[in-house]
Structure 1
């Protein structure tokens, strides 16, 4: 297995400091290792989140690793990484804890940082979950605006499973706004995209939405 170059560089700088008497590279080694740790924390948190979605059992480590990633990225001056980590902090509060109010500050900050960094994918996720928060609050027009903007970004990225997931949310909104024909059309489009992307989880969401909304 190939090791991360930053770990190899840290080992070399250790040897240079201990055996060569030159510790000038140690600060750089630490920054490199902070980057490795941040990426590992983010990856571990995503795995824990996926496990929650499958098992619906909260693991307190999920929030800890996402918050740790955000702190590390902030220390590195990596706004893109910090924005992604903060999105997941918000997602944890919203999805795992069911606390939309606690999620909002992290989601809004994530959107701001991702926008500054030009990170369209994280922007799309933050917008989606801000739309969900607006939906929960009964702000249907705002929810639709957020979800449609998220969907536009996902089309731009070619992220078809993400587009399909958003269309399911937009279908729920359309039904609540008495736009049942629009809701049916959105679910039909979501079905086609999910089938193309082999996104079987999204197909399950479509089937559940059709049943809940009594749509063909």
Structure 2
């Protein structure tokens, strides 16, 4: 396998985090390189009265929390703004899904235990979002995360990830598919299905390369390395590349550092 090459996005990023206008493309470029505060600042002027901008900004700052374990208060403020300007069930459900993700991140990163809030918010989102809503795939993915990492229920997680993968495929959400591939592969690895795990991790890495999602490359590389023997040359190479990117981005995501300590 040749060394991954990170390129500019060859296709438009998903609507959740980008679009066709110069401003939207600028937000995507900043976000994909881990510059969440700068990306959020571009959306701030419209966030007070426009749900799409407010939700987009909140999602960026919640993702910053997930990758850096910092910025919780700013994410809460941005999320409250999005909730305040939501006008219909789809928008309220989308905001509830984001609140569930923030509570999940706080719990899994041990900032504060908000597991009950995460489950309640995602349940509220499920009640509000229509079955055909584009946001349903992301909701399914996040419910899978809660089932796997807070509920220790891999079977429920797998079912949720599969629903999310099908929804992401139907709506053309390439970035979400990179996440569903990775987490389905993680469950396969947990079950000892090495060939399936390598396939899923490779697909996830490939999609992130296609999108130019630099901040997500190191986790994808480490995940693929984990599906090889620790002493294998390929695992060593993948971890070395992950460590290079981790340093390039200033040590994010922070939760990856222990896995790269001996890379």
Q: Could you say if the C-alpha distance between residues 71 and 147 of structure 1 is closer, same or farther in structure 2, counting changes exceeding 3 Å?
A: farther
Q: Does 1:142 align with 2:196?
A: yes
What does the per-residue CA deviation read over 1:112-151, in whole Å, with 9 as the maximum and x for residues that have no partner? 0100100011111111110111011110110110111011
What does the per-residue CA deviation read over 1:30-50, in whole Å, with 9 as the maximum and x for residues that have no partner? x95112211211111111121
User: Which residue in the other structure is 1:105 paired with?
Assistant: 159
User: Which residue in the other structure is 1:193 paired with?
Assistant: 245
Give the unaligned 5+ runs of structure 1: 7-30
- The correspondence of residues 146-165 of structure 1 with structure 2, limited to 5 A, is 146-165=200-219
Q: Does 1:175 align with 2:232?
A: no
- The correspondence of residues 23-172 of structure 1 with structure 2, limited to 5 A, is 32-55=87-110, 57=113, 59-75=115-131, 77-78=132-133, 80-172=134-226
How much does 1:210 deviate? 4.9
How much does 1:175 deviate? 2.0
Give the unaligned 5+ runs of structure 2: 1-46, 53-85
Distance, in Å, in 2 between the alignment partners of 1:70 and 1:132 is 25
How much does 1:52 deviate? 1.3
Distance, in Å, in 1 between the alignment partners of 2:210 and 2:142 is 22
What does the per-residue CA deviation read over 1:74-118, in whole Å, with 9 as the maximum and x for residues that have no partner? 25x31x210011000011111222221111111101100100100
Whether contact under 8 Å (1:70, 1:81) holds in the other structure is: no
What does the per-residue CA deviation read over 1:148-181, in whole Å, with 9 as the maximum and x for residues that have no partner? 10111111111122121011111121126xx621
Distance, in Å, in 2 between the alignment partners of 1:137 and 1:113 is 24
* Aligned residues between the structures: 183
How much does 1:208 deviate? 2.6
Distance, in Å, in 2 between the alignment partners of 1:86 and 1:32 is 23
Whether contact under 8 Å (1:83, 1:111) holds in the other structure is: yes
Alignment TM-score, normalising by the size of structure 2:
0.63
Whose helix proportion is higher, 1 or 2?
1
User: Which residue in the other structure is 1:208 paired with?
Assistant: 258
Distance, in Å, in 2 between the alignment partners of 1:58 and 1:138 is 31
Distance, in Å, in 2 between the alignment partners of 1:32 and 1:103 is 31
Distance, in Å, in 2 between the alignment partners of 1:111 and 1:127 is 7
Alignment TM-score, normalising by the size of structure 1:
0.76
User: Which residue in the other structure is 2:32 paired with?
Assistant: none
Distance, in Å, in 2 between the alignment partners of 1:145 and 1:100 is 19
